[in-house]
Structure 1
Amino acid sequence: MHSDRKRHVVSGLLAGLVVAARPVEAHVDYVTEEGGDSPTVVEFLTAVLSDPLHLLLLGGGGVGVAVATAGWLRYGDHLQDVTVIRRTLRSYQPYLGWLLRLAIGLPLMGAGFGGYFFSPAVPVEARLVQITLAFLLLFGFATRLAAAAGLVTYAVGLTTHFPTLLLASEYVAGFLGILVVGPGQPSADLLLRRVVLTDGTFMSRFRETTTVSDLLTRAGVGKSAAPLLIRVFLGFNFAFLGVTEKWLTPGRALQVVDKYDLTAVLPVAPEMWVFGAGLGELAVGLCILTGTFTRSAAGAGFLILTTTLFGLPDDPVLAHVTLFGLTSALLITGSGPVALDRSLIPTLRARFGHSPSTDPEVTTPAD
């Protein structure tokens, strides 16, 4: 009786997930069309997990990842190349605001002129709003206010286009990052700020005006919170896409494999291709979300996006610019606060016999 009840609960949850994911046609929707036979989730997973070769590949891949992780924990921080790369990436911090503005402003401008609302899967005209926000972000004028307005615009849209608009949840990460980091340099806001702070200028009389930055500071929200905010929503986006568009709605993803003859690149069954792609996105998403090997996970995410860019020639590149920018931002910042890179991973490194780094700048050696 207990077993039957448990089976019914699991089946109900799975069915609920499928129903929720059904409107989410995700990024594969950009390069495929509706129609044709589509396997159910059970049929898809059975095709993958009932094949001994697939289980062998998955097991071998898991062992490979475990060995690589153990090697990285033990020896990664001793590589001078890694130390130099981290130090150089951290030196790009002054341009983080600019990077985030470009990553959000460019695709938002494209969405406005393209006639869709954040995601190509939501064909709703909001040209004036999106282009205005994009212009302010790209120019770096009233940057934090524009980011706050962007968050509100997205939230309003999500209420009427849920869950489809979750495809573009990376915009939330970008808007929050900009809100916390600010415009960076170069930007119109920085130019005006310097004029305001210079004695004798006309604008210096507005020096005591309260800004969004002042309000955030009073609330105890500093720039150091940006990596955490970016990680939460970017990690969710990767994991969400991996599960919903690959595992829970495999039909369209199988069309992608067939359309681009991906089995000729890696000779495995199409179902294994789709399952592996979803597993990769899920793993990257969870690592980013939890702050586990953050820079490595962000680099893997960037590699996945680059592979998509060159492997799917008719995929709308502009729709992925935000993801490119946000993964690049995490390469610069690392994990930030509230991350396993700062708690569990150092403990694991010690257990693997790793000696502390002699580089005083390596504050998050795990990522």
Structure 2
Amino acid sequence: MDTGSGGAPGHVDYVVDGAPTVRALEFLAAVLSNPLNAALLTGGALAVVAAMAGYLRYRPAAADVRALRETLRGYHTFLPWMLRLAVGLPLVGAGFAGYFFSPSVVAPTRIFQVVVGFLLLFGLATRTVALVGLLAYLGGLAVRPELVLASEYVGGFLGILLLGSGKPSADHLLQRVAATDGSLYGRFDPLHPLVSKFNDVVGPYEQYAPTAMRLGVGFNFALLGFWEKLANPGMALEVVEKYDLTAVVPVDAGLWVVGAGLTELAVGVFLLLGLFTRATAAVAFVVLTTTLFGLPDDPVLAHITLFGLSSALFVTGAGPLSLDERLADVRERSPLATTTD
């Protein structure tokens, strides 16, 4: 397997060929030494903190929030399908494009990724295929550490492994046929008994699918925000210059890079902690959409998994082992609580 460029690969490598080295600490000090930049960054951070504190204290639009969550619960049945699309489609695309999970790692793995991707799209032997895909990614990561920048696949594979195929899927269809009394297919079905046993083992842990997804997406956003932009700002500055982003938002290029890096880092940390998860997932989706339309050279396939997992987290919320869950428990125990949203 070969990388397409030297140095530390990342998503910005897809749209620029290279950039001079820029010392991170000196760059950050220079950006913050500008009073306007410092005021904008500080004001933005304070506004976010004030918005969070105000929401926790006053619960505005509580009825709207309850209606939203109740509606989203009805979407849970579609989550396995969403995840299969989010992982299967980019794997098929990666196979035909000739790269291994990330465009930064070129490899002749066409058949493997296309087969895994199509099996996920069909929903055939779904949990087993997700496990195979996860092991393949981790094996590749051990050889090519730069694949860490495609870490969202871990959350995607784990989510599929925990939730299974759902419906519509080949697994669901074949299991229903095989379980029918007098089924001819059921007499010779080699897959149904194994799938049933696998489902029995994994089933009790399905509740942790949102946790796995937000850890995968959160780590990816935090890493990209810190490593690509704050720790290695040279490439990001080239992107700002190439697409004339300062004409879109009239601030200097340094503030563009620092602001984007801090935003992605904050999104990642919030998802890792499971804090304001649905709102953070919505912000992540907006960031990805802005990147898609703002950087026309950026390969869409490289971000489909992030798009899909962000959408899924908006549906599920934080899940277990999260600050959102802890805050909900505190509200329920509070004698002042009048609603549970």
Change (3 A) 1:44 1:212: farther
* Cα distance in structure 2, aligned partners of 1:217 and 1:290: 29
Counterpart of 2:171 in structure 1 is 189
Count of residues paired in the alignment: 335
Which position in structure 2 is the counterpart of 1:211?
194
Amino acid at match of 1:32: V
Q: Does 1:263 align with 2:236?
A: no
Residue 125 to residue 293, structure 1, CA distance change in 2 (3 Å) = same
CA distance in 1, matches of 2:169, 2:159: 16
Distance 2:127 2:259 in 1: 39
Contact 1:246 1:277 in 2 (8 A): yes
Of the three residues 169, 173, 183, the one matched with 2:151 is 169
1:277 deviates by 0.4
Aligned match for 1:69, one of 37, 40, 52: 52
- Deviation, structure 1 residue 220: 7.0
Residues 77 and 147 from structure 1, CA distance in 2 versus in 1: closer, same or farther, beyond 3 angstroms?
A: farther
Cα distance in 2 for partners of 1:146, 1:50 equals 52
Tell me the SS of whatever aligns to 1:338.
coil
8 A Cα contact 1:216 1:222, kept in partner? no
Deviation at 1:218, TM superposition (A): 3.7
Map 1:322-333; keep pairs closer than 5 Å.
322-333=305-316
- Taking a change above 3 Å as real, the CA distance of residues 54 and 341 of structure 1, as seen in their structure-2 partners, is same
The runs of 5 or more residues in structure 1 that have no matched partner are 1-21
For 1:322, what is the secondary structure of its paired residue? helix
Which residue does the alignment assign to 1:28?
12
Of 51-60 and 217-226, deviating more is: 217-226
Q: Which residue of 2 aligns with 1:99?
A: 82
CA-CA distance at 1:127 after TM superposition: 0.4
1:336 aligns with 2:316: no
**Greater mean deviation of Cα atoms: 216-225 or 56-65:** 216-225
Which amino acid counterpart does residue 134 of structure 2 have in structure 1? L
Structure 2 segments unaligned to the other structure (5+ residues):
1-5
Distance verdict in 2 for CA 1:339–1:212, change over 3 Å: farther
Which of 182, 188, 193 matches 1:200?
182
1:222 and 1:54, CA in 2 relative to 1: closer, same or farther beyond 3 A? same
Is the Cα–Cα contact under 8 Å of residues 298 and 327 in structure 1 kept in the other structure?
Answer: yes
Any idea what the Cα deviations from partners look like across 1:198-221, whole Å, max 9, x if unmatched?
A: 111124346996435634644674
**How do 1:307-326 and structure 2 match up within 5 A?**
307-326=290-309
Q: Which residue identity is paired with 1:279?
A: L
CA distance in 2, matches of 1:192, 1:209: 8
SS of residue matched to 2:16:
coil
Paired residue secondary structure (2:105): coil
AA at the equivalent of 1:71:
G
Residue equivalent to 1:355? 337
Give, in angstroms, the shift of residue 349 of structure 1. 9.7
Alignment partner, residue 256 of structure 2: 273
Deviation sequence 1:317-350 (CA, Å, 0-9, x none): 1110000000011111111100000114654898
Is 1:223 the counterpart of 2:206 in the alignment?
yes
Contact 2:126/2:164 (CA < 8 Å) preserved in 1? yes
Aligned CA-pair RMSD? 2.2
Which AA in structure 2 matches 1:180? L
SS of residue matched to 1:87: helix
Segment of structure 1 superposing worse, 98-107 or 43-52: 43-52
**Contact (CA 8 Å) 1:177, 1:227: kept in 2 or not?**
yes
Deviation, structure 1 residue 156: 1.2
Partner of 1:53: 36
**Aligned in 2, Cα 1:75/1:302: closer, same or farther, shift over 3 Å?**
same
TM-score after normalising by structure 1: 0.86
Specify the alignment match of 2:221 in structure 1. Answer: 238
Structure 1 residues 107-134: Cα deviation after superposition (integer angstroms, max 9, x where no partner): 0001000010000011112001000101
Normalised to the residue count of structure 2, the TM-score between the two structures is 0.92
One-letter amino acid of the structure 2 residue matched with residue 48 of structure 1: V
Amino acid at match of 1:326: L
- In the TM superposition, what whole-angstrom CA distance separates every residue of 1:254-285 from its partner, at most 9, and x where no partner exists? 01111111111222221111011010001111
- The verdict on how the C-alpha distance between 1:192 and 1:120 changes in structure 2, with shifts beyond 3 A counting, is same
Contact preservation (8 Å) 2:174, 2:192: no
